[in-house]
Amino acid sequence: MILGSCVREKEVSELLRQGHWPHACTAELHAHVDGCRACRDLVLVAASFQKARAQAAGAAPLQSPGLLWWRAQLRRRNTAIERAARPLLGAQIFAFVVTLMAGAAILGWQVRQGFHFTTWLAELPRAIHLQALLTDLLPHLGGGLWLLVPALGALALVGTLAAFVASEKQ
Amino acid sequence: MRKPLPTPLESVLPILVAGDEPRVAQLPMDNDAFAGFYERSARFLWAYLARVSGDPALADDLMQESYVRFLCAARPESLASQGEVAGRKYLFRIGTNLLRDHWRRPQSASIEEIPEEFFAAAGDEGQSDSRAMLGPAMKLLRPRDRQLLWLVYAEGYSHREIAEITGLASASVRLLLFRARRKIAALLHAQATNQGRRP
C-alpha cells in the first residue's frame, strides 16, 4: 500500500531536510507542490515543525553538565554497591535460617532425651551460682545497687545506637 | 606477567575492596566529553520533550533524568564504535520511554503541583508564530502522534530510526505517521483559515 499518494514526496522531503526548500527549487517543483495536496501538506507540516524546533531549542534552559555527570556517577556507584550487597544479604538470611533449624533440632533432641524446660529454667540460678554472685556483689555495691539497673539499660541503649549509626554509615 | 586472580571477596565486592576508582562505576564518557555532547544535544532533546508533553517544567525533569540514565546505561565501547549520532538516538529513546512512563502514571489533580511557568506560558504575549500555530494543533493530537511527527519532521529521523526509538514496528510507524500528518495538516489549514477570517 502506498500511503504517500504522490511520487514526488520523497524528493520534496529531501529538499526540506537539506534546507533547500523553497529557494533552491525549480519553478516546476513549486508548481507541483501548489497543485498537489500531499506535497502541500508535507511542506506545511515540515516547515511548522522545523520552525518550532528552532524556537524551542533557543528557549531550552540548560543545566550544568558537570552536575548531571556527578549524579550519574553516584547512581551507578550506588547500583553497583546494591548489586554487590545482595549476595551478602542472602548469605545472612541463609545463616540465620540454618542457626534456627539447628537450634530447633537440638531442642527437639533434648526433649526426646527427657529434658524438661520448666525444671531447667527453675534450676538455672542455682546452676550458674547466682546466689553466691549476688552475695559477693551486694556488699561492694552498698547503697548503689539502684544504679546498676539503669546503668545496664543505658549501656544497652548506647550499644543499640552505636550499631544503628554504624549500619547507616555503611 | 600474569595478573593474580582476585580473592572471592574482591570478585564480589570490587568497590568496597579496591582502593582506587572502582571499575564498575566507570561512566561511558569523561566529564569533558559529556559536557560537549550535552551542549550539542540538550537543546533539541528539551525541545522534543517540551513540545510533545506541552509542559516545559516536566521537560526539564525528564531531560535531566534522560542524561543520567544515558550515562548509567550506555556502554563506552558501543558509543565509541557507533558515534554521537547513535548516542543521540539512544538519548531520544530514553526520553521517549520516560514520556510514556509519565503518561501511564495516574495524573495529579492538585493545582498546587502544577508549576507556575505553566500558567505564565498560557498568557504570554510574546508567543511565537510557530508556537501559536503548532501548539493548539499539537494539543489536539494523541501523544504518540505528537512524538512521531516531531521525530520525523523536526528531528529528521527515518521510519526505521523512529521504530528503534519508539519500539513500534516500521510498517506501523509509516501508517501512523500518514494519518497523523493528514490530521495535523487539516488542523493547521483550519487554523490558518480562521486567522485569515479574523479582523
State whether A105 and A154 are in the same domain: no
pLDDT score of A137 more than 70 = no
pLDDT computed for residue A10 by the predictor: 85
Q: Is residue A117 helix, strand or coil?
A: helix
pLDDT computed for residue A114 by the predictor: 79
- Confirm if A36 and A12 have CB atoms less than 8 A apart: no
Q: Does some domain include residue A72?
A: no
Could you tell me which chain B residue has the CA closest to the CA of A4?
Answer: B178
At residue B65's C-alpha, the angle toward residues A75 and B108, to 5°, is 120
Q: Does some domain include residue A63?
A: no
Q: What is the C-alpha to C-alpha distance for residues A16 and A37, in angstroms, rounded to an integer?
A: 16
Confidence band, pLDDT 50/70/90 cuts, at residue A99: very high
Confidence band, pLDDT 50/70/90 cuts, at residue A100: very high
Q: Does A55 touch chain B (CB under 8 A)?
A: yes
Q: Does some domain include residue A2?
A: no
State whether A131 and A96 are in the same domain: no
State whether A124 and A161 are in the same domain: yes
pLDDT score of B66 more than 70 = yes
Of B135, B111, B103, residue with least CA distance to B122: B135
Q: Does some domain include residue A4?
A: no
pLDDT score of B1 more than 60 = no
Q: A-chain residues within 8 Å CB-CB of B39? A: 62, 65
State whether A121 and A170 are in the same domain: yes
Domain tally, chain A: 3
Confidence band, pLDDT 50/70/90 cuts, at residue A11: confident
Say what the alpha-carbon torsion angle B160, B164, B166, B170 is, to the nearest 10 degrees: 30
Q: Does A149 touch chain B (CB under 8 A)?
A: no
Of A61, A66, A69, the CB nearest to B27: A69
A151 — alpha (psi -120 to 50), left (phi > 0) or beta?
alpha
pLDDT tens digits for B105-144?
Answer: 766 545 455 444 444 444 444 344 555 678 888 888 999 9
Q: Does some domain include residue A73?
A: no
Q: Does some domain include residue A132?
A: yes
pLDDT score of A162 more than 90 = no
Q: Does some domain include residue A70?
A: no
ipTM: 0.71
CA distance to A19, A84, A161, A162, B185, per residue, from A167 (Å): 61, 16, 10, 9, 61
State whether A101 and A132 are in the same domain: no
Domains in chain B, CATH or no CATH each: 25-123 (1.10.1740), 125-199 (1.10.10.10)
Is B20 or B182 the better-scoring residue by pLDDT?
Answer: B182
- Confirm if B134 and B47 have CB atoms less than 8 A apart: no
pLDDT computed for residue B96 by the predictor: 93
Q: What is the C-alpha to C-alpha distance for residues A71 and A77, in angstroms, rounded to an integer?
A: 10
Of B31, B51, B64, the CB nearest to A63: B64
pLDDT computed for residue B30 by the predictor: 80
State whether A111 and A135 are in the same domain: no
State whether A124 and A94 are in the same domain: no
pLDDT computed for residue A144 by the predictor: 61
Q: A-chain residues within 8 Å CB-CB of B184? A: 45
The position carrying cell 552475695 is A135
State whether A121 and A110 are in the same domain: no
In chain B, pLDDT over 90 holds for what percent of residues?
38
Q: What is the C-alpha to C-alpha distance for residues B65 and B9, in angstroms, rounded to an integer?
A: 33
Is the Cβ pair B71, A76 closer than 8 Å? yes
Cβ-in-10-Å burial (0-12, 13-18, 19+) of B47 comes to buried
Average pLDDT over residues B67-81: 77
pLDDT computed for residue B23 by the predictor: 44
State whether A141 and A105 are in the same domain: no
pLDDT score of B166 more than 80 = yes
Is the Cβ pair B131, A55 closer than 8 Å? yes
Is the Cβ pair B46, A57 closer than 8 Å? yes
- Confirm if B45 and B66 have CB atoms less than 8 A apart: yes
Q: Does some domain include residue A146?
A: yes
SS3 of chain B = CCCCCCCHHHHHCHHHHCCCCCHHHCCCCCHHHHHHHHHHHHHHHHHHHHHHHCCHHHHHHHHHHHHHHHHHHCCHHHHHHHHHHHHHHHHHHHHHHHHHHHHHCCCCCCHHHCCHHHHHHHCCCCCCHHHHHHHHHHHCCCHHHHHHHHHHHHCCCCHHHHHHHHCCCHHHHHHHHHHHHHHHHHHHHHHHHHHHHCC
State whether A16 and A52 are in the same domain: yes
State whether A47 and A16 are in the same domain: yes
State whether A126 and A168 are in the same domain: yes
Average pLDDT, chain B: 76
Query: Which of the given ranges, A9-13, B13-17, B96-100, B121-125, has the highest pLDDT on average?
Result: B96-100
Of A72, A76, A69, A62, residue with least CA distance to B34: A69
pLDDT score of A75 more than 70 = yes
Domain that holds residue A48: 9-58
Of B52, B80, B77, residue with least CA distance to B66: B52
pLDDT computed for residue B79 by the predictor: 67
